[in-house]
Amino acid sequence: MADAQAYLDKIESKLDQLNETCSDDMLFVIGYLRGHIMLSAGYLEMDGKFEIDKINQATEASLNKAIEAGELEEQDQKYVWDLWAELTQL
């Protein structure tokens, strides 16, 4: 659990850094992605399944569901997936 919290802390820190100098489009992407990550992590923590792999899986499932529902334009999808890929390498 401590590893998962440290992982989320790194992600939050990186998103906060990006937030300081980004464009309006990227600001949207950061907020959108942050919401999916934190919601997924919150549910996992409540269920006692708060692990890095499960956070990644739940976030990706949440993003896929939202994209399938048509929540994002194609370009925004690319930005979200690119940023998510970067964050999972932290």
List pLDDT tens digits, range 23-65. 998 999 999 999 999 999 999 999 999 999 999 999 999 999 9
Q: How many residues does the chain have?
A: 90
Average pLDDT of the segment spanning 76-88: 96
Report the distance separating Cα 6 and Cα 68, nearest Å.
30
What Rg, from alpha-carbon coordinates, does the chain have?
13
Report the distance separating Cα 26 and Cα 47, nearest Å.
32
Tell me the three state secondary structure of residue 71.
Answer: coil
Report the distance separating Cα 23 and Cα 20, nearest Å.
9
pTM, to two decimals: 0.92
DSSP state of 72: S
